[in-house]
Structure 1
Amino acid sequence: MGTLLNSLTTELRRGTLTLAVLSQLQTPQYGYFLVQLLENSGIAIDQSTLYPLLRRLEKQELVTSIWDTTESRPRKYYVLSEYGMDIFLQLKKEWLKNSKELYGLLKGEEDDGSD
């Protein structure tokens, strides 16, 4: 049962991580700081998950990146493209709608019918 639960949890989490990352890229962020931002919001993500996700989002043209070499240590900053912002807003709307519907179903499971 443990492996099935882990697999289903990972599947459930995958989409939420994409939305979480997109939500934080309305302003330019670099990888390590993005990990911290997400963790401060209670969303654990390690760099081995984040960087492949950022590369995929960039390949899908949702995110653009730029190197900042003004500091002693160069950093690659990621930010939503215009297309990425449109997609993010649509995904956000869909997520909120689905969450509300799912919450209604799951809340119903907890009710004992004596309301």
Structure 2
Amino acid sequence: MDDSLFNSLSTELRRGTLTLAVLSQLQKPQYGYSLVQLLERNGIAMEQSTLYPLLRRLEKQELVTSSWDTTESRPRKYYVLSEYGKEIFGQLKNEWEKTSQELYNLLKGEGPDELD
């Protein structure tokens, strides 16, 4: 088996799911490292080098907002879903649930019968 092909396809498969995973954890404000830890505790490994560009993109798309907390000795940038982000997250979550159930059925051989 070609490992590079598998790795490429696996990365492609994960890309969209990582966005949904990040959005799901931004109901409450999180800073980058806390977000990585939350995801890892739930079985989703994500490098900070992947997370920060994703957070910047989500902010540019107005799905998340950010603010600096300078009360600690080390300033931290916190991210949280915007109202628009909450709406889009709800839609994406519903789409994910529908699509994953359809795919699950296909992979288990429970989809509609094939055409003759």
User: Percent same amino acid among aligned pairs?
Assistant: 82
Cα offset for 1:93? 0.1
List aligned pairs for 1:15-34, cutoff 5 A: 15-34=16-35
Residues 14-41 of structure 1 deviation map (CA, whole Å, 9 limit, x = unaligned): 0000000000001100000000000000
Normalised to the residue count of structure 1, the TM-score between the two structures is 0.93
Structure richer in helix, relative to its length: 1
Q: 2: CA distance between counterparts of 1:46 and 1:6?
A: 16
What is residue 66 of structure 1 aligned with on the other side? 67
Aligned residues: 109
Cα RMSD (Å) of the superposition? 0.9
Cα offset for 1:70? 0.5
Normalised to the residue count of structure 2, the TM-score between the two structures is 0.92
For the pair 1:49 / 2:19, whether they are aligned, the reply is: no
Unpaired segments ≥5 residues, structure 2: 111-116
Q: 1: CA distance between counterparts of 2:108 and 2:29?
A: 38
For the pair 1:96 / 2:97, whether they are aligned, the reply is: yes
Unpaired segments ≥5 residues, structure 1: 110-115
